[in-house]
Structure 1
């Protein structure tokens, strides 16, 4: 057994939240260790993530997809509006160099368990390789998509070709000249389809639910213009991020869509559409989240725009159906660049698996209920992830009563402020369950949560508090608020991962806080300003 390594704090995960937390805890003078499952920072080096697809980009535009510390952006410039995976890796290497982070990081360290010792007031954290760490404080910064999902397919073990899930895409994997099948049209499916369509001998896409994707409008950034913005506008841009519902620079329209003329409404949507990214979803009329009538109009606008790009009317009906498959935006829209045009190619076939379900995987391909056997060399599983809470429950986390958190949450997630849960002292997470998550730009909601955790730890250390844990009453109240916001909207009308509906048997519940970044920040501040209300603070005994 490895020697136990002692630290003040352990941070698990090296994406935005883990890096920010490491930086903030260092400022407190703590001895900190960050444990990262992959070989580098940024969440793009983990063996459990889609990492090397050329089209893998952030869906948050620059400059907001980076840390707001001026020292970390004043001499860094992204080259594209939406940073690609390789450039994001380079950005995190730059942050590492600036802050000398790697001296406090253990790479290739997949955390498998964390157990609280009430008598010692310490967590014991163990990695897959057997390394053991003890610390007073643990912050889980494991993101929301650390656990992939593969449905049960009859005969999958008989397939003679290569099967590849998008969660661990190989860096040098070549689909050129191959017969490729892709099951799934979520975010990673859209990426693979765009990359594969132009180079495959034949591409068969098995679609269950169409992806209501939005145009990315990728663009190169002018380095000179970006440098000028750093001197003038950038501080205002970063300041604005905490003031908008979604954490992007443009907020939702101040008026209801019902208060404006049809002409004004359409022109607003057109402007957002042409600018690209998620603006059509995040920064037009808030009504689309809770008003079916306006949501229908938004869907019709989207449908018309998409159908203009598809040649075959039957294919258009599958990709952009006459009747919306679910309320627009109640599944997070993916961003695309030429996704719909791919289906105009003669080497691409779209299979509707609602009409013709997959019966089995055969040695040579995929057989559907109409009797067709689709011959394949490669089968790509873009079947998604067990999102949000599974990133935490996949770790064997045991608190004061020794019960795994997975069991505690089997009948529903419970947190206070999306930061911690009752019975698990000195354990926080950033960008986890019941946090704004996919309803916001990631850094916009990560930074205030990470700041809160660091300030809470400082408060505890300054005031002789040895442990802090959420109260049952506070987490029930927070859960009621999370669920109430979800029920105000149209979220339960879509079988999305927002409510856990993409995983068979998983409890249907709102897994994220959808009331917006400013409301979330206010809740954080209110708790801190009231002596950390909603938390039990245990003082050290003499």
Structure 2
């Protein structure tokens, strides 16, 4: 980036990403009267909902809790068709928002940001996109999503396969035909579950390659009736107030009782009730100690294991589908619709990669340690280099050329999860150490965007051209993050929430990436910093 910066197109702010976070940040900064440029790698808005168009992709948060809350007109004019909307409807919604609020003129599509460098002399960020063009801005805001850096398994031969193959987050726009085909799905996380249950009835033969089974519970989705639609719209103010109070910004709140405060009969009845209800209540509205007390967790895990055994006819397959290395809720809980019943179909087979690992992908299929499996199609539901991976794929350099990837190599270091010392004027809407990655994400996105907007308003009004977190505040925030996570069972488990992804070199050590104090406490912390005149930051 040697070209003089005064010859580059210049803006007040550059935003990376035009998903839910980037679109809302653009809306708010435009309200401030700032000049804003958004760069988006895709060819349209939507972020997660643009890229993930695989069969079965849909919400596992209730639709009406997921949409933007900032516009009463938008809330009243949009009708969600299902309690948990599918990807095409969600993408239509986000396109509607982009058009309604005239956001597209400020977004440059098919433009992937490859590098960003802070220039101390001018107090500006210089940003490069994949065309080689460079731009500059006083402020840089990342809206790149926690699950956007897709990963493939670390096995040889992936490019050798001559059939069709897709990663779920890079699904083609044109229709994919399944009838009569021999299909492999690698991965049984939330995405894999949605794909498997959707295509199982459509294919000629389905083979599921599972490394780690997950605790899956019923989604219980259905259409929204006209009467329900009217009640939802009338109840929006009360619902959003409830969402502000619950730890994960869901309509489900933790039961204040302990697992051991009730009799075994009452406990079983309560769990049966949760299992029969829609959405994440079974995870978020369970007894308060299920995610912290190993004995409580073991009891509930056994309850779900019994459900799996009841639903899967072959006892050997059922046992393979029951997790043995982690308890319920310590990894993300996939919500399903007849997922377990898919394994009762005669043309569906489960391959346990703990018993027979994949050795390579061949021209005609997949070779494990036990057999060669021929396929017409391979679907990689192998997830993402989560939370920090999308940052790692951009060469971000702060003061003195400090590399963000190198700074975070042993684990992220942030202040409020919104900034990092040594990287002035850079803000991260969704990233490590803020509440958004353990949240009904648009609710936490709105909180973070509004805090960032207030900071930039303050900077504009006071003539501030440089702000940065102090190393001391960053270290204290990291200690706070560690303390909050110390009693949580999930920290003892390998998952994307603890930064473990064996498909990515160097991502095999657990780290604390999420804020575990709940969204209300996080919001209070952010408000406290702002009301104190931005304690923990240097403003110049």
What TM-score do the two structures reach when normalised by structure 1?
Answer: 0.94
Cα deviation per residue 1:295-348 (whole Å; 9 max; x = unaligned)?
Answer: 111111111222221111111111125xx3302111101111121111001101
Aligned counterpart for 2:206 among listed residues 203, 207, 213: 203
Match of 2:516 in 1: 514
Q: Is the 8 A contact 1:7 1:135 kept in 2?
A: yes
Match of 1:454 in 2: 453
Q: Is the 8 A contact 1:143 1:391 kept in 2?
A: yes
Match of 2:16 in 1: 12
1:12 is displaced (CA, Å) by 1.2
Query: In 2, Cα distance between the equivalents of 1:155 and 1:100?
Result: 45
Match of 2:342 in 1: 342
Match of 2:46 in 1: 42
Query: In 2, Cα distance between the equivalents of 1:461 and 1:262?
Result: 60
Q: Is the 8 A contact 2:491 2:498 kept in 1?
A: yes
Aligned counterpart for 2:30 among listed residues 26, 29, 48: 26
Secondary structure of 1:20's match?
Answer: helix
Match of 2:367 in 1: 367
Query: In 1, Cα distance between the equivalents of 2:49 and 2:135?
Result: 23
Q: Is the 8 A contact 2:494 2:510 kept in 1?
A: no
Query: In 2, Cα distance between the equivalents of 1:218 and 1:225?
Result: 14
Q: Is the 8 A contact 1:147 1:386 kept in 2?
A: yes
Report the RMSD for the aligned CA atoms in angstroms: 1.7
Cα deviation per residue 1:268-296 (whole Å; 9 max; x = unaligned)?
Answer: 32222211211111112231221100111
Secondary structure of 2:328's match?
Answer: coil
Cα deviation per residue 1:504-532 (whole Å; 9 max; x = unaligned)?
Answer: 42242011111111111011111111111
1:20 is displaced (CA, Å) by 1.4
Query: In 2, Cα distance between the equivalents of 1:189 and 1:421?
Result: 34
Change (3 A) 1:44 1:494: closer
Q: Is the 8 A contact 1:422 1:471 kept in 2?
A: yes
Change (3 A) 1:161 1:496: same
Counterparts of 1:145-160 in structure 2 under 5 Å? 145-160=147-162
Match of 2:321 in 1: 319
Cα deviation per residue 1:435-480 (whole Å; 9 max; x = unaligned)?
Answer: 2234210112111111110001111121222111111111111112
Change (3 A) 1:97 1:152: closer
Cα deviation per residue 1:340-374 (whole Å; 9 max; x = unaligned)?
Answer: 1110011011011101112222332222223x211
1:60 aligns with 2:64: no
1:83 aligns with 2:85: yes
Q: Is the 8 A contact 2:218 2:336 kept in 1?
A: yes
Q: Is the 8 A contact 2:58 2:86 kept in 1?
A: yes
Query: In 1, Cα distance between the equivalents of 2:270 and 2:390?
Result: 38
1:331 aligns with 2:331: yes
Match of 1:105 in 2: 107
Query: In 2, Cα distance between the equivalents of 1:220 and 1:336?
Result: 16
Aligned counterpart for 2:183 among listed residues 160, 180, 185: 180
Secondary structure of 1:138's match?
Answer: strand
Q: Is the 8 A contact 1:214 1:276 kept in 2?
A: no
Q: Which runs of 5+ in 2 are unaligned?
A: none
Query: In 1, Cα distance between the equivalents of 2:22 and 2:266?
Result: 43
1:40 is displaced (CA, Å) by 1.8
Larger CA deviation: 438-447 vs 513-522: 438-447
Q: Is the 8 A contact 1:356 1:369 kept in 2?
A: yes
Cα deviation per residue 1:364-400 (whole Å; 9 max; x = unaligned)?
Answer: 2222223x21111112222111000111121111111
Secondary structure of 2:486's match?
Answer: helix
Match of 2:475 in 1: 476
1:240 is displaced (CA, Å) by 1.5
Query: In 2, Cα distance between the equivalents of 1:258 and 1:493?
Result: 23
Secondary structure of 2:276's match?
Answer: helix
1:222 aligns with 2:221: no
Structure 1 segments of 4+ aligned residues over 6 angstroms from their partners: none
Q: Which runs of 5+ in 1 are unaligned?
A: none
Query: In 1, Cα distance between the equivalents of 2:32 and 2:156?
Result: 54
Q: Is the 8 A contact 1:115 1:399 kept in 2?
A: yes
Query: In 2, Cα distance between the equivalents of 1:433 and 1:165?
Result: 24
Q: Is the 8 A contact 1:176 1:196 kept in 2?
A: no
Query: In 2, Cα distance between the equivalents of 1:262 and 1:45?
Result: 42
Secondary structure of 1:238's match?
Answer: helix
Secondary structure of 2:244's match?
Answer: coil
What TM-score do the two structures reach when normalised by structure 2?
Answer: 0.95
Query: In 1, Cα distance between the equivalents of 2:233 and 2:159?
Result: 54
Change (3 A) 1:291 1:90: same
Larger CA deviation: 334-343 vs 148-157: 148-157
1:537 is displaced (CA, Å) by 0.9
Query: In 1, Cα distance between the equivalents of 2:399 and 2:156?
Result: 42
